[in-house]
Structure 1
């Protein structure tokens, strides 16, 4: 059951996929006056958007491929996110160590950083600087100094809760008039001859079917774009996504105070070890993947690779597979590139591909990344307007604040909220980090019904009111939606298993669930967690995967 049941209707734009790109397109198009409907077979941002490295890259690593356009775009979009989503996107320093034998010598990295600083002038969080071996040993004492030739400190950005970017794009798109149908499968494209005239959809729970006729249909299904097109319209292969996996561990001996961005010894690709919400993320891999897009799981080999590389540069870490709290794996929606010998050479930019003249009315989005979702949406809406023959309309999203940052002075709001909140400072700051100014709505619900002030997760301090807010106002349908992509307690050490029953109980008391629904939701939640291989569920070794290393 979607939170907006489908119904036959005519719109300007139909969007397939409610990941970060599909939602950003809906927001941008609705802001420019278009009637928009989005459909997704699952929850908001529950595919690739929830499996990223949670970094808002300024684009430093794209300099290596001389992709200056993508670097400039990434710098601009990072800068805009600092202003429009300050509660979600934060300054994030990274240390880049240089070791003897690295394929990228320190002098080359320093040159790249100098070029990046010039390109980012006025839009960064400070200039990069060199760090001597002695300072590295003092400030990052756990980092190996064997073969260390120096380091550089670089300033980038992190979005700890990328899931909330998707939720807030949804909230703003809805506020602007877009309609978003989750748990609604696109069963086919509507065709008038060769022209694509919309999409057929079916509600996953009720089975209710509908036709949504649209002047333009945008396929923004990420790695699934070819699946959407298959058997519907003639098209070459468009997606060639690679698999990226991460593991999450507790702080370990020698763990760094900042992100460490270093070259892996095994395959020379740059990888990260970075602090994240009291824990550490190690990642990521970059493997050619030809397996089932719906069964993407970090393999034993990937986990071993990430642990070995971390143990190599942090000699006292001693990490083993038993230390992995859970893993996260997804497919990057990259353009298909035949005969590629190095996945790092595949473009990380995006392409707005019109299927006209063969199939007018259909546009497919190829590629795209978390940082540049807004720019991608602007480009898509520009193309939609051209297709509609309506002329250019000014894009409003460059300066439009996200719903959680809808205040004239975010730092002042945050200070006042912590000062006036009945919660502890730590729990108040968590609400701000997750909801921004909408944290007040959580407290309002708790004030209206004292039972909603109950803490349902001891680790985070999350409140029962957040369960109600997630379903009533943020489009959550299932328990997994609530825990993994709204409250985010599902990303804690035990992936929310200790909080799940209490949260289901809140739904029974306040949201109309019966006991049978609660039991079904708890079972479905555990089933969804299996792909993360959580330690709390003692998941067995991963099955054979579709991974393939490039030569």
Structure 2
């Protein structure tokens, strides 16, 4: 469905604040149902909470123990839909859940919960869970601690190794449907007149130019920052009670497993993961009450020690120390503000579409939400938007609409055929391009064939080529070098965070995109500055300190 182009002075149906996964999903859904949409974000798409997730598409197993069957059912359904609409990004992911004596959740209870989960997932699941004896686990995972091991279950869930690419593809599809996405544009205030919200005031981060975007309805989808958007303009109690989650990334270690292990931490009985990820391992996550600066969230030394201690307990041969941490990732979950909860895991992971009417007509705020259920959240938000706007209800098509990287009649046939046609690329390069771009790998190939310079490798570790840099800027709305490295090509998430690659990619931008050397140098410096929040090991960057969190009992 096409839309007229909207200019800065036009009145649009929806102004969406926030280009994380939820804001982009709403834009895509709303545009597909005929609404004119503008999305505004002060940074890049998916650069906030989305980029700090556990990269898992949960079927909702963890929510069974809270008897949240609605969220379990929704999560199972959305996982199933993502397997169909984004098969290049979302994959089957088996995980072992070992049972140990002393665990707060007895093995038989977990088995019962998994049996209930398999029933709920019937027809939408993958393989059913399978119980394993302690002897079988010791044989299959010989380096796992046997002390107190009582058995376990092999459970099948899903992973999205590159959550950042989910956001990029939502962006691309939303714009194909007519939405406009304005990144690096700060919302400086709401347009509040006559008891209603009529849009937003903005400032372009690069030019400093100020403006207004007028909308019939404004949706505050700023994740952990929703209260900041409302502060001083809309009378509202505190809405966001997000908790801090941190992960650490390490190289393979003695005894490292070849599957995800989902286990209970001895220190606080929190379920945590250790899983293989792109040749390395991710440990996470923590779940801490956080009252600090939302713009300065980094993993603390205490969190890193906690995760390493639990990993060493589970794998006695590992011997992991802080020196083994390549880098860390920390973010704030956009959870509803909840009082009187001693265990943060008990805070709802569901979402709410809050209508501020009648006090403030024309304003919705999105509370909560998670990676797995972003599409369902968007459907709910668009349904509410249509009702508020007095528009006829339109059928939602995103349940079956493939993301751009899966827009082909047969994804698996395309995946099998692409390496044969990708003449300039090695099999490893082709496999990587398919995993990141899906059928859009064909566009990288077209660019590489159009100019031999674009087939040149810019990152030796991954085999990424110059064409990806050019495509990121020209066709995927990258604005900065950091956007390219951390959220388009993903080479910045390697063990060395692509510090040297940044210079090579900046040189490509000089030759192919018209950058001058001053901009290239400034972009490299800005990229290095952005890496400080990851606390990368061995890089000459001043580490941030992360002290504004506390563990709840």
What is the TM-score when the length of structure 2 is the normalising length?
0.98
Secondary structure of 2:26 counterpart? helix
> Among residues 524, 546, 549, which one is paired with 1:547 in the alignment?
549
Per-residue CA deviation, residues 83-119 of structure 1 (Å, 9 max, x unaligned), is 0000000000000000000000100000000000000
Q: Which residue of 2 aligns with 1:518?
A: 520
How many angstroms apart in 2 are the aligned matches of 1:96 and 1:6?
A: 53
CA distances 1:272-327 after superposition (whole Å, capped 9, x unpaired): 00000010000000000000000000000000000000000000011100000000
Please give the alpha-carbon distance, in whole angstroms, between the structure 1 residues aligned to 2:457 and 2:198: 49
Rounded to whole Å, the distance in 2 between the matches of 1:186 and 1:80 is: 33
Do residues 300 (structure 1) and 308 (structure 2) align?
Answer: no
- Aligned positions of 1:119-268 closer than 5 A: 119-268=120-269
Match of 1:81 in 2: 82
Distance 1:37 1:541 in 2: 36
Give yes or no for the alignment of 1:476 onto 2:478.
Answer: yes
Partner of 1:496: 498
State how far apart, in whole Å, the 1-side matches of 2:363 and 2:182 are. Answer: 20
- d(CA) in 2 for partners of 1:511 and 1:202? 25
Q: What is the CA distance between 1:450 and its match in structure 2?
A: 0.5
In the alignment, the residues of structure 2 paired with residue 537 and residue 10 of structure 1 have an alpha-carbon distance, to the nearest angstrom, of 48
Q: Is the 8 A contact 2:294 2:332 kept in 1?
A: yes
Structure 2 unaligned residues grouped into runs of 5+: none
Cα contact 1:6–1:209 (8 A) shared by 2: no
* Partner residue in 1 for 2:44: 43
Residues 179-210 of structure 1: CA deviation (Å, up to 9, x unaligned): 00000000111122210011111110001122
Supply the distance in 2 between the matched residues of 1:55 and 1:543 (Cα, whole angstroms): 27
Measure, in 1, the Cα distance between the counterparts of 2:333 and 2:148.
Answer: 33
* Aligned residue number for residue 21 of structure 1: 22
**2:292 matches 1:291:** yes
- Provide the secondary structure at the position in 2 that maps to 1:327: strand
Is 1:6–1:203's contact at 8 Å kept on the other side of the alignment?
A: no
Partner of residue 384, structure 2: 383
Pairing partner for 1:533 from 526, 530, 535: 535
Structure 1 Cα separation of the partners of residues 373 and 469 of structure 2: 30
Runs of 4+ in 1 over 6 A off after TM superposition: none
CA distance in 1, matches of 2:542, 2:494: 20
The structure-2 alpha-carbon separation of the partners of 1:252 and 1:51, relative to structure 1 and needing over 3 Å to count, comes to same
Distance 1:359 1:443 in 2: 50
Aligned match of 1:430:
432
For 1:540 and 1:185, locate their aligned partners in 2 and report how far apart those are by CA, in whole Å.
27
CA distance in 2, matches of 1:539, 1:520: 16
Q: Secondary structure at the match of 1:27?
A: helix
Q: Is the 8 A contact 1:6 1:202 kept in 2?
A: no
State the Cα deviation string for residues 30-79 of structure 1 (Å, max 9, x = none): 00000000000000000001000000000000001000000000000000
**Counterpart in the other structure of 2:335:** 334
For 2:377 and 2:134, the matched residues in 1 are separated by: 41
Are 2:282 and 1:281 equivalent residues in the alignment? Answer: yes
Q: CA deviation at 1:419?
A: 2.1
Call closer, same or farther: CA 1:315–1:173 in 2, change over 3 Å.
same
Query: Is the partner of 1:535 in helix, strand or coil?
Result: coil
Cα distance between partner residues in 2 of 1:208 and 1:488:
31
Q: For 1:543 and 1:94, locate their aligned partners in 2 and report how far apart those are by CA, in whole Å.
A: 33
CA distance in 1, matches of 2:6, 2:435: 31
After alignment, is 172-181 or 207-216 more displaced? 207-216
Structure 2 CA distance for aligned equivalents of residues 494 and 176 of structure 1: 38
Q: Is the CA contact (8 Å cut-off) linking 1:5 and 1:181 kept in structure 2?
A: no
Distance 1:51 1:6 in 2: 33
Query: What's the secondary structure of 1:200's corresponding residue?
Result: strand
Deviations along 1:527-548, one digit per CA (max 9) or x if unpaired, are 0000000014155665252101
Structure 1: distance between partners of 2:397 and 2:168: 19
Deviations 1:460-514 (A, max 9, x none): 0000000000000000000000000000000001011121100000001111110
Distance (Å, rounded) in 2 between the aligned partners of 1:538 and 1:64: 45
Contact 2:6 2:12 in 1 (8 A): no
Aligned residue for 1:151, secondary structure, equals strand
> What does residue 444 of structure 2 align with?
442
Structure 1 unaligned regions, length at least 5: none
Correspondence for 1:62: 63
* Count of residues in correspondence between the two structures: 548
Alignment of 1:94-105 (within 5 A): 94-105=95-106
Instruction: After TM superposition, give the deviation of residue 391 of structure 1 in Å.
Output: 2.3
Aligned to 1:464: 466
Q: Is the 8 A contact 2:16 2:40 kept in 1?
A: yes
Residue 256 to residue 428, structure 1, CA distance change in 2 (3 Å): same
Contact (CA 8 Å) 1:243, 1:332: kept in 2 or not?
A: yes
The answer as to whether partners of 1:300 and 1:541 remain within 8 angstroms in 2 is no
Asked if 1:272 corresponds to 2:265, the answer is no
Give me the CA root mean square deviation: 1.1
Distance, in Å, in 1 between the alignment partners of 2:76 and 2:147 is: 34
How many Å separate the matches in 2 of 1:8 and 1:519? 36
CA contact (8 A) 2:239 2:367 kept: yes
